[in-house]
Amino acid sequence: MTKNVIVLGAGIVGVSTAIHLQQRGRQVTLVDRKEPGSETSFGNAGLIQREGVAPYGFPQQLGLLLRYALNNRIDAHYHLRALPSQVAFLARYWWNSNARRHAIITRAYAPLIENSIAEHKDLIEASHAEALIRRDGWMKLFRTPAKRDGALAEAALWQNEFGVEYDSLTSADIARMEPDLTGDFAGGIRWRDPWSVLDPQALTSAYRHYFESLGGRFVTGDAASLGPFGSGWKIMTADGSLEADDAVIALGPWAAVATRRLGYSFPLGVKRGYHMHYAAKGDAVLHNWMLDAERGYLLAPMHRGIRLTTGAEFATLDAPKTPVQLDRAEAVARTIFPLGDRLDPEPWMGARPCTPDMMPVIGKAPRHQGLWFAFGHAHHGLTLGPVTGRVLAELMTGETPFIDITAYSPQRFKP
C-alpha cells in the first residue's frame, strides 16, 4: 500500500522534499497558505552557493560588535525592543561562532554544500528550467587591500580543504568585467563554482510543476491545523480534511511556531532581509552577481531588473517592515553603478530561519511517529533545498542517506 505524505511548506526546501518523496513512490500533497515560492524563497540573492562551506558566523571582535551596536550599518540592523526575546539565541549563536567551534561546524556543514550544485542540476534538467540558470559564478569585491588579502587567504584554505575554485581579481580585472562599475575597488574574488538564478520564484515554480507531473499535488491549507490523527496526521485544506501517514514540516521561519504547537522548543531565530529591483540608467549593464563586501549589500542582474539585497535584520518575525538597510545600501550602490528607477511598488521583506549552530534541522521528530523536520537553512535555503529533500526522502523511505546527516539531527537541541 502506498504511503501518503503531507509536506507542509512550499518554499524551495518543501518543494524539493516533495519531489524526492514522490520519486520514491510516496503519494505526496504539498500544502501552503500561498503559491509555491511566494515567501522566503521569493526574495533571496539567487545564488546556489557551492563556495559557501562556512556558514555565516556572529562577529567575535569587540570593536566590530561596538560598531554594530550603533545600528547604522547596511549589513546588520536590529530592533531594540526585539533584543530581550532574542538574547538567548544570539548568545548561543555568538558562542558557536568562535574560531574553534566554527571550524568544527564548517566541516560538518560542508557535505551539504558540496552536493548543492549536483542536486540542483538533476532537478533543473528534469523541470526544464535551464533558461533560468547561469553557470559563471559570482564576484566578491573589496575596497581595501587588507580585507581583500584576508579573503584571498581564506579562499585558498577553502580550496585546499573543500575543493572550491576561485580567481583572484585585480582592479583592472574588475574594470574589464564590469565596465559600468565606478567604485574604487582594491580587488576581489570570483567564485567559479556557484550557479546563479535569474528568477528564484520561477525556479521554485518549475520544480513545483515537475512535482505535479510525477503525480503529486499542491493545495492551500493552514499549518495551524496540523495534528496527530490515529497513527498518522491530519490537516485542513481548501479541499477539505487531508490525512496522511507522514508529515514533513518545512516551514522555514514559521517552523518554530508550528513545532511549538506540537510540544517542541527549537531555538530558531530569524534574520530578516529586504530587496528592491532597479532599472539601469541609459545603456549601462551589470554583467555579474556582485557583493560589495565591506558595505554589505549585493547587486544581481535578474529578469525583474537589478536586484539589490541587504544583510540581516534582527527583529521579531511579524514586526512591521523597517527597510532602513535598503535605503542605506541604495545610496552607496548608486555611487558605484548607474541605478535607475525603483521597479517595485515597495521593498520586499523576507525572513531567514536560523539555528544557533548555523546548521539546518533535518530528520525525524524525537517524540512523534511519522513526523519529520526540514528547516533552519539560514542564508542557504535556495542552495540546500534539493540536497535536503534528497537526504530526508532517503531517510523517510528506509534508505541510507548518501551523506552523513547526523550533525543536522533534531535531537541535538533536545527539543
Instruction: Kindly list the domain boundaries of the chain, sorted by start residue.
Output: 1-57+97-131+196-268+355-415
Is the C-alpha dihedral spanning 374, 377, 380, 381 positive or negative? positive
Under CATH, to which class is 1-57+97-131+196-268+355-415 assigned?
Answer: alpha beta
pLDDT for residue 248: 98
Other Cβ atoms closer than 10 A to 13: 34
Q: Report how far residue 298's alpha carbon sits from residue 277's, in angstroms, rounded to the nearest whole number.
A: 12
Q: Report how far residue 59's alpha carbon sits from residue 234's, in angstroms, rounded to the nearest whole number.
A: 43
Q: Report how far residue 270's alpha carbon sits from residue 34's, in angstroms, rounded to the nearest whole number.
A: 20
DSSP state at residue 368: S
pLDDT for residue 286: 98
pLDDT by residue for the chain (415 residues), tens only, comes to 679 999 999 999 999 999 999 999 999 999 999 999 999 999 999 999 999 999 999 988 888 888 888 899 999 999 999 999 999 999 999 999 999 999 999 999 999 999 999 999 999 999 999 999 999 999 999 999 999 999 999 999 999 999 999 999 999 999 999 999 998 899 999 999 999 999 999 999 999 999 999 999 999 999 999 999 999 999 999 999 999 999 999 999 999 999 999 999 999 999 999 999 999 999 999 999 999 999 999 999 999 999 999 999 999 999 999 999 999 999 999 999 999 999 999 999 999 999 999 999 999 999 999 999 999 999 999 999 999 999 999 999 999 999 999 999 999 998 6
pTM recorded for the entire structure: 0.96
> In which region does residue 137 sit, left (phi positive, over 0), alpha (psi from -120 to 50) or beta (all else)?
left
User: CA separation (Å) from 395 to 90, 162, 370, 381, 404?
Assistant: 31, 25, 12, 20, 11
Q: Are 40 and 9 a contacting pair, CB within 8 Å?
A: no
Q: Is 143 helix (H, G, I), strand (E, B) or coil?
A: coil
Q: For residue 383, give every residue at least 6 positions away whose Cβ sits within 8 Å of its Cβ, in sequence order, or none.
A: 47, 48, 49, 50, 52, 113, 116, 377
Closest of 351, 355, 353, 354 to residue 321, by C-alpha: 351
Is the C-alpha dihedral spanning 397, 399, 403, 407 positive or negative? positive
pLDDT for residue 114: 98
Q: Report how far residue 252's alpha carbon sits from residue 378's, in angstroms, rounded to the nearest whole number.
A: 9
Q: How far apart are the first and last CA of the chain?
A: 33
Q: Are 22 and 67 a contacting pair, CB within 8 Å?
A: no
pLDDT for residue 415: 67
Cell 587588507 found at: 146
Q: Report how far residue 171's alpha carbon sits from residue 174's, in angstroms, rounded to the nearest whole number.
A: 5
